C-alpha cells in the first residue's frame, strides 16, 4: 500500500479537500428525530456514511461520541470506519490520544494496525507530553503506511496557554511544526504527518509549510470560511477544511447532505 500522504494527495485531487466529521452529538440525534441510544446512533452514523463517504476524500468520526455508548457504540464506530473505507473515503479517526511508552504503542496498535477492527488511515494525537512520546505512534504509522495529525494551533480559547508559550526562541506550536517538517522531509508528493490548525484562529506567524497535510477544523458552522482557508493556509501543502454540523444538520436527507458536500468541494476548489 502507498503511504498515507500519497493516498491523501490522490484523494484530494479526485474528490476535493473537504473533510466531513461524523459526530453524533446528542442534539443532532434529537434534530433528526432519533433517540439518544445505540439504535439512534447507528441510524444516524450509517446514514451519514452512505450520503457522504462516496463523495469526500476524508471522513473524520469523533470517537468520543461512539464511546459514550460503551462497547455497542464502539461496534457502530467499527462499521463507520469499515463502510467509509469501502466507499472510497479515507478515515481520519479523531481520538486525540497521547501517552508514553507501552500505552502509546497500544493506542497505535488499536487505531493503525490493519488487524484491528478500528484500523483507520490516520488518527489525531496530542504531543503535549513531549513530541518524543509519540514515537511509538509515528513508528507504527510508518510501518503500516498510515497518517498522524498532531495538535499544533487549535482554535479553542484555552489552546494559546500551551501552544503560544515560548521555548528556545520560538513557540511550542512552532516546535511541533518543526518536528513535523523533519518527519516529512523528502516525502513526495506529500508527507504523512500532519498538523491540526483551526480554521478560526484568525492569523498566525508560524510557518505552515512543512510538506504535510493540515486538518483545519472549525470550518462552516463554527465560523471558518473559504476566504479564511485561503488566507491562513496558502503555503500549506494540503489543507482539509473540516466541518460536521454544517452538513449533518441537513439530515436525515441523504441527498441534501451529499449536495452540500459536492457544493463545498467546488467552492474550495475554485
Which residues are the active-site residues? 96
With a CB cutoff of 8 Å and minimum separation 6, the contacts of 261 are 18, 20, 51, 52, 55, 56, 247
The whole-angstrom separation of Cα 63 and Cα 74 is 8
**Cα→Cα distances 219→20, 120, 125, 176, Å:** 10, 23, 20, 22
The whole-angstrom separation of Cα 236 and Cα 253 is 34
**Within 10 Å of residue 205's Cβ, how many Cβ atoms?**
6
Bridge partners for 242 per DSSP: 19, 217
With a CB cutoff of 8 Å and minimum separation 6, the contacts of 163 are 151, 152, 153, 154, 171, 172, 173
Amino acid at each position: 500500500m502507498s503511504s498515507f500522504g500519497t493516498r491523501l494527495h490522490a484523494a484530494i485531487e479526485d474528490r476535493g479537500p473537504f473533510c466531513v466529521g461524523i459526530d453524533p452529538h446528542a442534539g443532532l440525534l434529537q434534530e433528526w428525530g432519533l433517540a439518544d441510544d445505540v439504535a439512534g446512533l447507528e441510524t444516524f452514523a450509517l446514514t451519514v456514511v452512505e450520503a457522504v463517504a462516496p463523495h469526500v476524500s476524508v471522513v473524520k468520526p469523533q470517537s468520543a461520541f461512539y464511546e459514550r455508548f460503551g462497547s455497542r457504540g464502539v461496534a457502530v464506530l467499527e462499521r463507520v470506519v469499515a463502510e467509509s473505507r469501502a466507499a472510497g473515503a479515507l478515515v481520519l479517526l479523531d481520538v486525540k490520544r497521547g501517552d508514553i511508552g507501552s500505552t502509546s504503542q497500544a493506542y497505535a496498535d488499536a487505531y493503525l494496525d490493519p488487524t484491528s477492527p478500528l484500523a483507520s488511515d490516520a488518527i489525531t494525537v496530542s504531543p503535549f507530553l513531549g513530541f518524543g512520546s509519540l514515537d511509538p505512534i509515528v513508528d507504527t504509522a510508518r510501518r503500516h503506511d498510515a497518517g498522524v495529525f498532531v495538535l499544533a494551533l487549535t482554535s479553542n480559547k484555552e489552546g494559546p496557554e500551551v501552544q503560544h508559550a515560548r521555548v528556545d526562541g520560538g513557540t511550542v506550536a512552532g516546535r511541533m511544526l518543526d518536528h513535523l517538517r523533519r518527519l516529512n522531509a523528502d516525502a513526495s508528493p506529500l508527507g504523512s504527518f500532519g498538523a491540526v490548525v483551526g480554521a478560526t484562529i484568525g492569523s498566525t506567524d508560524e510557518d505552515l509549510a512543512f510538506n504535510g497535510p493540515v486538518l483545519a477544523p472549525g470550518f462552516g458552522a463554527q465560523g471558518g470560511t473559504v476566504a479564511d482557508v485561503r488566507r491562513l493556509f496558502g503555503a500549506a501543502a494540503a489543507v482539509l477544511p473540516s466541518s460536521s454540523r454544517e452538513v449533518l444538520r441537513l439530515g436525515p436527507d441523504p441527498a441534501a447532505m451529499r449536495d452540500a458536500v459536492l457544493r463545498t468541494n467546488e467552492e474550495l476548489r475554485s
